[in-house]
Amino acid sequence: MTPRAVLWDLDGTLVDSEDYHWQSWQHALALDGVAVTRDQFKSTFGQRNEGILRGWLGADATLDRINRIADAKETEYRRLAAAHGLTPLPGAAEWLVRLQAGGWRQAIASSAPRLNVDVMLRALHLETYFDAIVSAEDVTRGKPEPDVFLTAASRLGVPPASCVVVEDAAAGIEAARRAGMGSIGVSRTGTLPADILVRSLTELPTDAFERLVQTR
């Protein structure tokens, strides 16, 4: 039997850490005399820091400035997550258990730095469910390019057509499409062009993952 895999985004999909990200961006940008609105922040979900900061700072921003602000942001984010903890979104832990028991391979495929991923998984107590982790350092192109998902599939030894991506951002859903993978979108407030769209993982039909693999 061909192995099957689920590739999970992390922020907004397995855990809601939006407020921590917002607070840490405000902190890091204030150190540099920059401010952005909450809507500007929300429009960047799923993107890598370099692209986010070039959009906010302008095309002439130096790489040193971008890296300094990004490092300050991620350091503050990790501090908040470690100090205050994280809770899985409804249905997340239950699906991880169910899929593992059903023989699915699972990976984190995130635009976040690896240190963030490690801190988050420890805070969530979910480390044992993942057979691979792909983070920002592992690819040169971020979502909506498919690299992060193709890298995760390769590390798991699973063909793209047998992978299902779970995402909360439009950039991630587009990356899944470009990778030739089925997609599940999780959005409490908006719409996503995913194969299956739910407001919560608790709403997923029990055969959702099998259906997406079988129809590709």
- Whether residue 144 is preceded by a cis peptide bond, meaning omega within 30 degrees of 0, is yes
Report residue 132 as tokens. Answer: 């691979």
Of 9, 147, 168, 195, which residue is the catalytic one?
A: 9
Phi, psi for 67 (deg, rounded to 5):
-65, -40
Of 11, 147, 168, 195, which residue is the catalytic one?
A: 11
Q: Rounded to an integer, what distance in angstroms lies between the CA atom of residue 152 and that of residue 162? A: 12
Residue 168 is among the residues annotated as catalytic for this protein: no
Q: Rounded to an integer, what distance in angstroms lies between the CA atom of residue 4 and that of residue 164? A: 8
Q: Rounded to an integer, what distance in angstroms lies between the CA atom of residue 198 and that of residue 191? A: 9
Residue 9 is among the residues annotated as catalytic for this protein: yes
Could you give the angle at which helices 63-84 and 114-124 cross, rounded to 10 degrees? 10
Q: What is the DSSP string of 95-147?
A: HHHHHHHTT-EEEEE-SS-HHHHHHHHHHHT-GGG-SEEE-GGG-SS-TTSSH
> H-helix or E-strand containing 186?
strand 182-186
Tell me the one-letter amino acid at 143.
K
Residues annotated as catalytic are 9, 11
